[in-house]
Amino acid sequence: MYGFNINELILWLPAVIIALTFHEYAHGKVADWLGDPTPRYQGRLTLNPVAHLDPIGFLLLLVTHFGWAKPVQVNPLNFKGDRSKGMMLVASAGPIMNLLVAFTATLIRSLAIPEGVVPNFYITEILNGIIFINIYLALFNLIPVPPLDGSRILAGLFPSSELIYQLERYGAIVLILLIFTGIVGLVLSPIASWLYNFFTVITRFVAGPFV
Which residues are catalytic, by number? 24
Dist CA 70 CA 147 (whole Å): 13
Torsion of CA 195, 129, 42, 147, to 10 degrees: 50
Dist CA 188 CA 139 (whole Å): 7
Dist CA 31 CA 10 (whole Å): 33
Dist CA 143 CA 149 (whole Å): 7
